[in-house]
A = this chain, B = another copy of it.
Amino acid sequence: MSGTKDLGLLFDPRSVVLVGASDRAGSIGGYALQNITEHSDFTGELYLVNPRRTGIGGRTCWPSVAALPTTPDLAMLAVPAPDVLPALQECAARGVRFAIVFTSGFGETGEEGKALEAQMREIVAQSGMRIYGPNCPGLTNVNRRLGLTFSPAFKLDLLAGPIGIATQGGGLGRCLLQAMQRGIGVGVWTSAGNEVDLEVSDFIHHMAGVTGIEVIATLLEGVRDGPRFLQAVRHAAQQRKPVVALKIGRSEYGRRAAQSHTASIAGSAEVNSAVMRQMGVIEVDDIDELIDTAALLARARPGPAEKIAVFCSSGGTAALSADMIGSAGLELAEFHNKTRTELAALLPGFASATNPVDTTGEIMRDPEAMAATLRAVVNDPAVGLVLYPIPLEYGPVTRVVAESVVRVQRETSKPIVAVWMSDRLGAGYDVLVDGGLMPFRSVGKAVKAIARWVAYGQWRLRADATAVPEPLQLSAPRGLALPDVSTEPLAKAWLAGHGIPMPAHRLTRTLAEAQEAAAAMGWPVVAKVASADVLHKSDAGGVAVGLRDASELAKAWERIHHSVAAAVPNARIQGLLIERMAPPGGVETLVGVHQDECFGPVLSVGLGGIHVEVLKDVSRRLLPIHLDDARDMLRELRGHAILRGVRGQPPRDTESLARTLVAVSDLVTAHHGAIAELEINPLWVGAQGQGVLALDALAIPSGDHAT
């Protein structure tokens, strides 16, 4: 990542050269020329380069970039694949700042193409010129009405708006742009294809600073560079611009397909999702949800605790919508008395004047009554958003309905989310689109978008209170080296030194020493073999629990030495670790840190037993975390009720558990870069006030720190 970091002149260049300009119908150079000359409002300098022509359409053609009278900010390359590298070299030599390479036939075709891409990166590294592409449709800056693209569809999708879109491939990006048909305006779209240099993260970062872009929608097949992505979304969060993301690669099929399509790292779906949630990136499940959610956030920003009103003229639809609101975990607003009174006066007696509102069909033909009823609902102080499903096209009747919706929406900043449920469009649909309502097409999809909108408001509240987290990978200098942690006693000594609570324990070399230690700490005790050569202590017969007196300990001493000698013949045994048994009745948890290949150190916590292994009930965060994050992590567990205390059990000491998670976070931060893996398993959690105890622990140093 060298060269110019400010992408302003890529999005909005003062001068452009089109290398490979053409007037041949259907050619890439021809389309690109038409887009910038006929369909754009470009007022800067445009140079054409084509050594085989002297002019095209009345414009001069220059033989080379070197021959141009001035140095353009941006070069667009529409030349055959073999000519791309020389052209890039020429641009770099001339001092061009940005080059968009439309041409395909590189990394996506195999090893040879990848080698050519490596040479492109070499040019970037040496010259500082930034490359966009290759194998891409180019960049579309709708808000400036500027098409730096060869796409013949450019001229069709020109509804400006507050959404910035950053994709890798082109097909799905154009799919998103065609939501303009529903009145969803898009300000800029980048689709950087093979991303030899500039990648999705760079565009997210840039768009966060672009005036007129309020929400960023991104489609990720993979994340090439974790820190760059983290930096970008953190910057967007700081600029208060929500990022909505669809990340392919949740299933094995998707991971494989995305990898073969873009050769980027798919990564662990669980970690990806956890990272996005933590950074305030709104993850969606489908391409239509991406644009719908972005559009809703562009219309209005949620407060920290938004409640919903359902407004409808069909009883069945009202019931269905309320049902979905409930299933999504959203809250229906409780109407103020004033609202109820107003509704009762406006609606027929058998209509439902509570939330969900069912006006019944009776008043649909009366525009004034429709508007007044809707206005009463939207103005209720408890209502943050109105969901307005329209089940069917009904000619003039639905047109009047739509007009009343548009009218009331103009009076308020609270979003009215209209859903045009029918496959039959009509005048009412057009009224909604033209009125800026951006109608959804299914209740379920609308409710999903609303749920994400509400959740973003909650996240924003937290982010405003504690600042957007800065992941360790971005900020922390390499930390302290690890001490020797090759045995449990060593690992525990190190952890205890960093504030992780432990039961009383002592490494003993003789039976007498062990018996004395046990008597001092109090029976019952556990005895465990201490040896760097025995990784799986239990499997090797190296553990004895519940030893109640000196004679039981003596037997165990004998048995452990015997078993371990049989299981791991040449193990060097340092002695036995004698440890006070945790009190009965605790809950076991598992706390771990591992290095994600993309995003760096990830903290995981789950309940012991089957919860992690079988039910995959794990909560994750990038480090470092605050105490509030730690509390959130515990609340996110499906089995959280177990910590709260179920079936007559007392509530557990979740505060101590949360503090211990923070202690682990601090510890990893202090040793940043030195720990490959850390696991406290089990971490015993007592009843409230009893604290927690690390019963076993394992730390693996990073390869480069390993002894």
Contact = CB atoms under 8 A, between A and B. Distances in A.
Nearest to A609: B647
A68 B580 CA distance: 98
A392 B250 CA distance: 24
A421 B287 contact: yes
Contacts of A181: 422-424
A615 B613 contact: no
Interface string A301-338: 00000000000011111111011111100001000000
A288 interface: yes
Contacts of A251: 322-327
A260 B325 CA distance: 17
A443 B286 CA distance: 7
Interface stretch (A124-132, A349-357, A596-604, A618-626): A349-357
A480 interface: no
Given A219-B316, A221-B316, A261-B319, A442 B391 contact: no
Contact of A323 (B254, B318, B443): B254
A409 interface: no
Interface stretch (A87-95, A166-174, A651-659): A166-174
Given A178-B423, A253-B326, A326-B252, A319 B350 contact: no
A169 to B, nearest CB: 3
Copies in the complex: 2
A657 to B, nearest CB: 17
A701 to B, nearest CB: 27
B323 A646 contact: no
Contacts of A286: 320, 324, 442-444
A429 to B, nearest CB: 11
A79 to B, nearest CB: 19
Most buried by B among A172, A256, A613: A172
A441 interface: yes
28 contacts: A108-B350, A110-B349, A153-B394, A169-B316, A171-B392, A175-B317, A175-B422, A178-B392, A178-B424, A180-B423, A181-B422, A246-B320, A249-B323, A250-B323, A250-B327, A251-B322, A251-B324, A253-B325, A254-B320, A254-B323, A257-B319, A287-B320, A288-B444, A610-B641, A610-B647, A614-B641, A614-B642, A614-B646
Interface of A: 108-110, 153, 167-172, 174-175, 178-182, 219, 221, 246, 248-258, 260-262, 285-289, 313-320, 322-327, 332, 349-350, 352, 356, 358, 361, 391-394, 421-424, 441-445, 609-610, 613-615, 638-639, 641-642, 646-647
Given A172-B391, A181-B423, 13 more contacts: A110-B350, A168-B316, A170-B314, A171-B317, A178-B424, A179-B423, A253-B325, A255-B323, A257-B356, A261-B319, A286-B324, A286-B442, A287-B443
